[in-house]
Chain A
Amino acid sequence: MARRKTVVIGFLGSVLDGGMGPERWDRWRPTVDLCRHEDFLVDRLDLLTQKKFNHILDRVTQDIAGISPETQVVPHLCELKDPWDFEEVYGALHDFAAGYDFRMAEDDYYIHITTGTHVAQICLFLLTESGRLPGRLLQTMPPPGHRRSAPGGLSVIDLDLSKYDRIAGRFEQEKKDSLTFLKGGISTRNRAFNDMIAEIEHISISSSAPILLMGPTGAGKSQLARRIFELKKSRRQITGEFVELNCATLRGDSAMSALFGHVKGAFTGASTSRDGLLRRANGGLLLLDEIGELGLDEQSMLLRALEDKRFLPVGADTESSSDFQLIAGTNRDLQRAVQDGLFREDLLARINLWTFHLPALRDRPEDIEPNIAFELEAISRRINKKLAFSREAYETYLAFARSDRGLWRSNFRDLNASITRMGTLAEGGRITGTLVSREIERLERLWVRPEGATTQPATFADLPPQHPCGELDLFDRMQLASVLEVCRDSRSLSEAGRKLFSSSRNRKRSVNDADRLRKYLLRHGLTWETIGGAYRAPAGGE
């Protein structure tokens, strides 16, 4: 087999390679020096040069013939009006590369970047990096002062960074950090989940195409989207904001306006203009959760915004523009929504380039333990109390959580609420067996769907285990659940009372709303302390 030839492409340095008299041998001339290394043999040297430097070219060619008779010097005329003009130099080098007959099977190419202007070096780098000059960069440097007549240094820079151990190690660590970050610092063990996160990490960093996150409620879609945003931001791939919208909250006319904005006077009440969320997400990341809930009109406008980065605000004559990355979330089967005519097929095609199914918590039993640890720590920090399970309690809870009985219908939302409850009730931060068995009962009740009910408010969990009046009608049950929900969202009994009785409150002059609510709760065997108070104001609430 014939030996592969070493071919070096580089500029003749009008300054560094210059010198006519014998004193030129006292100086380091990169192009000449390149040819006198004992361990590097240049078979062919393709020198980019200009007519006006012919005298230097001749001298350099002669000198190379003397020190390296094996080397063939081939000049290439490359006339440059201004060697500091990026556009001109890049164009000239691009032409050179395009017209060059690269024989990859026979030759090894090196791009010598030590000579030429800095602009020329930048252009050579760019052309090499993009593969138009299919070689490795070659950098030479002068010998140290005390060995002035020895050949200088020579180093080959391979732009395939994975070939450098220490750099590769750095990337490995960076990747590991990114993965941990995307998992929110939780060392998950589920293989499928971890593989999915690794794929998301890769895609987040290398693409800005839309991502579709599918999965049941509470599976962490929104958190994951936010972490993808943070990751991209830390890599300086994104400059704008994180904008989040749950499409299920959009209703009627305001939907268009909320997303795409409106101009002043676009409709009654539009007294000022509004930018809309798409515009706000310009340069950033837009999370549209429950995208299946979006109306068809909004869908077509969104499609246009994704394809052309342009859209028309309500009432406007001219289009607005916004360049954002979209992450869509859904727990609906969008294919089916397409079949039912509820979702545009072209929009689905546009957003499901990268689709990921976030598994439900009960499908990742091995991840329950690290998530419990994570929640426990997060809640400890939030309520400023060091929380710990007793050993027995922990084993009971974990066994339940991982068993078939652990339905985790709202996934992480359920787990978070469950640990929050136990943590709040834990005396001295100790979560005991009793607390755990009461919590398990609560969870099981929460997950039992009453007959005929299609949806179930989360607050059913808070219904007392033993109701004083026995089994409640669904009618009463739903009323009680809604009342409890308002209580949970209120800071005090009085606030909850004001909300619940706001209409009658306006009619009557003075009514003790809090007292009315207290009495209602009592009829169901409940007190503020055992429900709302337990969540919001452990110190006593009202």
Chain B
Amino acid sequence: MILLDGSTGEGGGQVLRTALSLSMVTRTPFVIENIRAKRRRPGLMRQHLTALAAAQAICHATVEGGELGSCRLQFTPGPVRGGKYRFAVGTAGSATLVLQTVLPALMIAGEPSELQLSGGTHNPFAPPYPHLAECFLPWINKMGPRVEAELHRPGFYPAGGGEFSVRIEPCSRLAPIDIAARGTIVRRTARILVAGLASGIAERQRELLMQWTTLGSEDIVVEILPNSVGPGNAVVLSLQAEHITEILVGCGEKELSSAAMIERLVKEMRTYISSNAPVGRHLADQLLLPMALAGSGRFVTMPLSSHAQTNIEVIRRFLSVPIVAVSQPDGLAEVQIGR
């Protein structure tokens, strides 16, 4: 039984989701205490419960304290069973986070899986779907399993109601990957997604992108999404380098002007480009766990976020594989997993 403290590090959801993934894969039970102890509303929130319910469903886990507001949770996993699952996520909470939780177990399970996920797909507080599909999954596929995702309907905040499906062909052993260099950026494109909003917004965002970046009008596509439940807007920047493609997503918010949203996105892009790191911040967070499961690997990234550090702490509790992050003279971090 592994005992985790939910009040340390980033706390809350990240610790829980990482622990759930690792517990299922290693079939090790765990207890997490002081869940979100320092928050105004402590204990488990609904988004945690949906991740928990999904994990419980695929491994028939025994759960104690899995209620709203509970500050202590005990999770005892059973054997992981691939198959057809449907997970619906409420309060526009992100369906991509649920996928992240169950994917590690399902991609090395004994049988293939088909997942139907519904809920938020493009929202500001979680990995947006384009990043998942175009940045994260390609690397997972390089590790052995075949994971294909298809978006049927976007789900924007606050209405949610997005849908995507994921097919997983597991593999028995994950292959290590090494992402040491980016190479030259060969192509930059932008997609502006708009649903249920005046098309003037897309035009304004296109103008701003052209004004503040070297993107030309032929590099920018506007997609009007007809089947979204609620209104929404997102801008997806794709930076294709020789060895890696980075995806940066800006999500429109009610209280955020187009200019502020584009400015924030362009800033993020410039930071990434000037860093020369191949692996961006979000991808670094997400790759740690699968690479640790593979037992070895290496990637170079920007200085580790506190999210990533929390992830490493939790991984160390479940797996004996060494994870070392070495700061380099150019400000980058080289993360070495295994020996």
Contacts and interface: CB of A to CB of B under 8 A. Distances in A.
A and B: interacting chains: yes
Interface of A: 3, 21-23, 25-26, 35-41, 62-63, 65-71, 146-149, 151
B89 A69 contact: yes
Given A22-B230, A38-B46, A148-B255, 5 more contacts: A38-B47, A39-B68, A63-B229, A67-B92, A148-B254
Contact of B90 (A3, A23, A36, A148): A36
A38 B69 contact: no
A37 B69 contact: no
A25 B231 contact: yes
B158 A36 contact: yes
B67 interface: yes
A25 B158 contact: yes
B255 A67 contact: no
B91 A3 contact: no
B57 interface: no
Nearest to B231: A22
Contacts of A41: 46, 49, 68
Contacts of B68: 39-41
B255 A38 contact: no
Contacts of B47: 38
A67 B67 contact: no
A39 B45 contact: yes
Interface string B290-324: 00000000000000000000000000000000000
A37 B91 contact: yes
A66 B46 contact: no
Contacts of A35: 90-91
Contact of B229 (A3, A40, A66, A147): A66
Contacts of B46: 37-39, 41, 70
A66 B157 contact: no
Interface string B120-162: 0000000000000000000000000000000000010111110
Contacts of A151: 91
Given A3-B67, A38-B47, A67 B253 contact: no
Nearest to B256: A149
Interface of B: 41, 45-47, 49, 67-69, 88-93, 118-119, 155, 157-161, 195-197, 229-231, 253-255
Given A22-B231, A38-B46, A148-B254, A66 B161 contact: yes
A303 B123 CA distance: 77
Contacts of B69: 39
Shortest beta-carbon contacts, A-B, top 8: A66-B161, A22-B196, A69-B88, A149-B254, A68-B90, A22-B231, A38-B45, A36-B91
A149 B253 contact: yes
B219 to A, nearest CB: 28
A67 B91 contact: yes
15 contacts: A22-B196, A26-B254, A38-B45, A41-B46, A66-B155, A66-B159, A66-B160, A68-B91, A69-B89, A69-B90, A70-B46, A70-B88, A149-B157, A149-B253, A151-B91
A152 to B, nearest CB: 11
B158 A67 contact: yes
A240 B253 CA distance: 63
B71 to A, nearest CB: 13
A511 B69 CA distance: 97
B41 to A, nearest CB: 5
A147 B124 CA distance: 14
Nearest to A67: B160
A149 B230 contact: no
Contact of B230 (A25, A39, A40, A148): A25
A63 B159 CA distance: 7
A517 B45 CA distance: 95
Given A22-B231, A36-B91, A146 B255 contact: yes
B231 A149 contact: no
A122 B149 CA distance: 52
Nearest to B156: A25
Contacts of A3: 67
A483 B158 CA distance: 95
Nearest to A40: B68
A149 B158 contact: yes
A149 B233 CA distance: 14
A242 to B, nearest CB: 54
A41 B253 CA distance: 24
Nearest to B162: A66
Contact of A38 (B91, B155, B195, B254): B91
B255 A147 contact: yes
A62 B161 CA distance: 10
B212 to A, nearest CB: 25
A301 B244 CA distance: 103
B197 A22 contact: yes
A150 to B, nearest CB: 8
Nearest to B45: A38
Contacts of B119: 69
A442 to B, nearest CB: 73
A21 B195 CA distance: 12
A148 B254 CA distance: 7
Contacts of B67: 3
Contacts of B230: 22, 25, 66
A25 B49 CA distance: 25
B92 A36 contact: yes
Contacts of B91: 35-38, 67-68, 151
Contacts of A68: 90-91
Nearest to A21: B196
